[in-house]
Amino acid sequence: MLVGTQRAIHFLLAISSALFLFLASITGAYLGGVAFYNRFKSTSFNELETVSLEETISNVKAHFTETYGIKKTPSDQIIVQGVYQDEFDDFYVNPFSGKPIEKVKNPSAFYDAVLALHRSLFLKKTGRFIVGFVSLLLVLLAFTGFLLVLKRRGGFFSLFKPITENNRHRKAHIILGQWMFLPVVLLGLTGVYLSAERFIAPSLLDDKSTAFVRQKIDLSSVPHSELVQLDFPFGDDPTGEFRLKEKQRTVVFQQGDGTLVSFKTSRLAMRLKAFSFFLHTGQGNAGIAFLLVITVLAIVYFIFSGLKVASKTNWLLLKPKWSAKKKQPILLLYGSETGTTLGFAKRFKKRVKSELGISLAIARLNDFKSYPELQKTIILTSTYGEGEPPYNARLFFEKMAIFESNHTIEFSVLGLGSKSYPKFCQFAKDIQFALDAHPQFKEIAPLYLINNQSEKAFEDWMQRLIALLKE
Amino acid sequence: MNPFLFFSLLYFSLFSTEIPAEDLKVKCMMQMIEYRGEGAYVNVSVVDQEGRYLKTIYVMGNDKSWFSEMPSFWKHLRANDLYTDEAFYPLIDGITGATISGGERRILRLSIPKNLIKATHALRFETAVEDKTYYQDDIQFSLGEAAFSQRYQGQGYIKSIQFSKEN
C-alpha cells in the first residue's frame, strides 16, 4: 500500500510541476553554461593571493585619472569604476598591473530575458512565488523518488549492485534518480531559500554592529580573497571615508590613518543566502557550474523518461479500481506493481468473454473476499523487488487468514517476472504454496511462470486455461 | 522673391535657430542605506513646481517592465508614450542597467540641460524596491544656486547624495 501511495504522490507531484520544471531546467542549463564559460574569460584571474589589495589599488591609480571604487566578481574579475583616458565607466582591470582590459558590458538582453524567465517566468512577484513553490515540489519529488528507489533496490547498500530492469527508460530513471538525488535536492533547496528569503524577518538578516576588533585598518593586510567591494572617499573632503565590504563583514574607516568608523559582521541568514546563491548559480566555480548543468539536464531527462514510463503504468493505476461486485463464479485476482500484470489480466478477461461468453469478476489481491457464488479463482501476479508482493497484493495473506467458505474453491496461479532477479516470481510461488496447503482450495492447473512478459508463453497459458474453463 | 523677405529668411535661418542647450555635468555619489531586498530602481528627473517631468536624466534598472514600481514615473512614461519609444531609452544618459542594493554606493555622471536649472525646478530622485515601499521623493531639491554644493539626505533607500562638478 505504502509504495503505491508513494508512487502516486511522486507521479502527481511530477505531473503538476513538469512544465515549470522543464522551463526552469532549460533556462538553468543556459545560465549554468554562462557561469561555466565566465570562469575562463581573459578578465578572470587566478592566484589573486599573490598580490595585495593595496598593490592593486596603487597600480590602478597609476593608470586612472580618477578612481571611485574597486570590486571583485565571483569569477575573480576585478572591476574599477573610474575615469580612464577621459572615459567615465566601469573597467575590468588586471589586478597585477592595474591596467584596464576592457569596459564592463551589461549582460545581453537575451541573458536578462532568460534570467527573468528562470526567476519569475516573466510574471514578476507571482512568478517568483510559483518558481519558489515549484522548487519545493522538486525537493519533494527527489525525496519520494529516492524512497521508491530504495524500496525497489531493497535497501541503501543494494544501490551499488547492478540493476535488473528491462525497460531502458525506467532503468535510467532509477539509476539517475539514485545518483542525482543529492544535487537535485541541493539545487531545489537553494532555489527555495533564494525565493523565500524575502519572507525572512529582517532582524535575522541585517548586519550587526560589533565591537571594534582592530582600531585601524591597513589595506596591505586585506587579501583579495575576502574582497567584495571597496569604495574610495568621494570628492576632495579630507575626512572622507573608505568603505570596505568583505565576504563576512563591512568596515568603514577614515582615509589617511585608517581609523575605524564602524564595523559590522553579516548574520548567519545572510551568509546562508550567499552560500545558497553560490551553490545555485555556480558563479565563480567552474566545477559547480558544470555539475549544475548536468543536474538540470538530468531533470529534463527525468521529465521525459518519467512521462514515458508513467504513461504505461500510473495512468492505469489512477483509473478507478475494478470491484468484484457482480458476484461472478470465476474471479480474476491480480497483483500488479507497475500496471503490466493488470494489462495481462484485462486481456485474459476479454479473451474469456469473446471465446466462452463468460464474464469474469476482477479484483486486486488486496481486495480478495469470498462470496457464495465463487467457484474458481485465477490469480495473476508479479513480484516486487526482493521477492516481495506488489503494492496492491500486500494484504493478500492477511485476507487469506480471515477467509471463510463453506465450499471448495478451485484455483490456478500465473506468475509474471524476470529471471534476471534471483527471486524469480517468488510471490506467485508463495501464493501457490499457501493455497496448496489450504483445505478449501483445490488446484485446477499447475503454477505457470512467465519470464520477461513473453507473449508466446502468455498465449500458451491462456489457451490451457480456456480449455479448462470450457469443461 | 522679395529681396527683403529673402534676407530676413536667411537671417533667421542663420542666427535664430535655437542654440542647443548646454549641459551641466556633475558627478553624483549615491550611497544607499542598509536595506534588504532586490536592487533599487532609481530615476533622476528634473520636475517643475507642479511635479511634471521636464527631463529624465538617469534611470537605473535594466528591465523596464519593473518601472511600474515607480508609479509617478510610470504614469509619465505611459501618458507620453515613452514606454514603447525605443528612442527614449538611449537618450537617458546611462540606462546602465545594473541596479544597486542595500549598503552599496555608485557614482553617477549626470548631464543636466543648463536651461532647466532654475530655482523653480527641482531634481527628483525617485526610488522603488520590489515588495517594498515606493518613494516618489526619496530626495528632491530645488535647482537654485549652490544646488550642487550640498549634501542631501534621502527619505527612503538613498542614504545620501553628494556632488562634484566636472571641469
* pLDDT digits 0-9 by tens, A2-43: 566 788 888 889 988 999 999 999 999 999 999 999 888 889
CB contact under 8 A, A112 and B107: no
- The residue of B29, B36, B150 whose CB has the most chain A CBs within 10 angstroms, and thus the best one to mutate to test that interface, is B36
H or E segment at A164?
A: none
CB contacts, 8 Å: A206 with chain B = 34, 36
Contacts of A438 (CB under 8 A, 6+ apart): A400
Going by DSSP bridges, is the β-strand pair A448-451/A409-417 parallel, antiparallel, or unpaired? Answer: parallel
What is the DSSP secondary-structure string of A41-104? STTB-S-GGGS-HHHHHHHHHHH-SEEEEEEE-TTSBEEEEEEETTEEEEEEE-TTT--EEEEP
By CA distance, what is B62's nearest residue in A? A112
Output the CA torsion sign for A376, A381, A387, A390. negative
H or E segment at B160?
A: strand B158-165
Residues of chain B under the 70 pLDDT cut: 1-21, 89-98, 167
Question: Which pLDDT tens digit goes with each residue over B41-89?
Answer: 999 999 999 999 998 888 887 777 788 889 999 999 888 888 777 777 6
Output the CA torsion sign for B81, B82, B88, B89. negative
CB contact under 8 A, A205 and B105: no
How many angstroms separate the Cα of A282 from the Cα of each of A142, A157, A278? 21, 31, 5
Report residue B92: phi and psi, to 5°.
Answer: -75, 120
Task: Output the pLDDT for position B117.
Answer: 92
Closest CB to B29 among A116, A125, A234: A234
CB contact under 8 A, A124 and B65: yes
Angstrom distance (rounded) from CA A314 to CA B53: 61
The model's pTM: 0.70
Contact B24, B114 (CB under 8 A): yes
Contacts of A293 (CB under 8 A, 6+ apart): A29, A32, A33, A36
Tell me which DSSP letter residue B40 carries: B
Find residues 411-470 of chain A whose CB sits inside 8 Å of chain B. none
Task: Output the pLDDT for position A141.
Answer: 95
CB contact under 8 A, B107 and A116: no
Q: Which three cell numbers stand for residue A197?
A: 528569503
Task: Output the pLDDT for position A1.
Answer: 45
Closest CB to A235 among B103, B105, B162: B162
CB contacts, 8 Å: A68 with chain B = 29, 107
CB contacts, 8 Å: B60 with chain A = none
CB contact under 8 A, A198 and B131: yes
Checking if the pLDDT of A135 tops 70, the result is yes
Select the more confidently predicted residue: A206 or A447: A447
Task: Output the pLDDT for position A469.
Answer: 87
- The residue of A111, A231, A252 whose CB has the most chain B CBs within 10 angstroms, and thus the best one to mutate to test that interface, is A231
Question: Which pLDDT tens digit goes with each residue over A259-311?
Answer: 888 888 877 877 888 899 999 999 888 999 999 999 999 999 999 998 888 75
CB contact under 8 A, A234 and B162: yes
Question: Which pLDDT tens digit goes with each residue over A43-70?
Answer: 988 888 888 888 899 999 999 999 999 9
**What is the percentage of chain A residues whose pLDDT exceeds 70?**
93
Checking if the pLDDT of A379 tops 60, the result is yes
How many angstroms separate the Cα of A174 from the Cα of each of A152, A157, A401? 9, 15, 35
Count the residues in chain B. 167
Q: Residue B40: name the closest of B123, B124, B109, B130 by CA.
A: B130
Among left, alpha and beta (phi > 0; psi -120 to 50; other), residue A155 is left
Contact A328, A373 (CB under 8 A): yes
CB contact under 8 A, A88 and B109: yes
Checking if the pLDDT of A75 tops 90, the result is no
By CA distance, what is B69's nearest residue in A? A124
Question: Which pLDDT tens digit goes with each residue over A316-327?
Answer: 655 555 444 557
Q: Which three cell numbers stand for residue B83?
A: 514606454
Question: Which pLDDT tens digit goes with each residue over A353-373?
Answer: 888 888 888 888 988 888 888
Q: Can you name the residues that pair with A414 across neighbouring β-strands?
A: A380, A448
| Mean pLDDT over the full length of chain A | 87
Residues of chain B contacting A, Cβ within 8 Å = 27, 29, 34, 36-37, 62-63, 65-66, 96-98, 103-107, 109, 130-131, 162, 164
Task: Output the pLDDT for position A218.
Answer: 78
| Residue A138, SS3 per DSSP | helix
CB contact under 8 A, A206 and B36: yes
Angstrom distance (rounded) from CA B132 to CA B41: 11
CA distance B80 to chain A (A): 24
By CA distance, what is B149's nearest residue in A? A235
Select the more confidently predicted residue: A154 or A192: A192
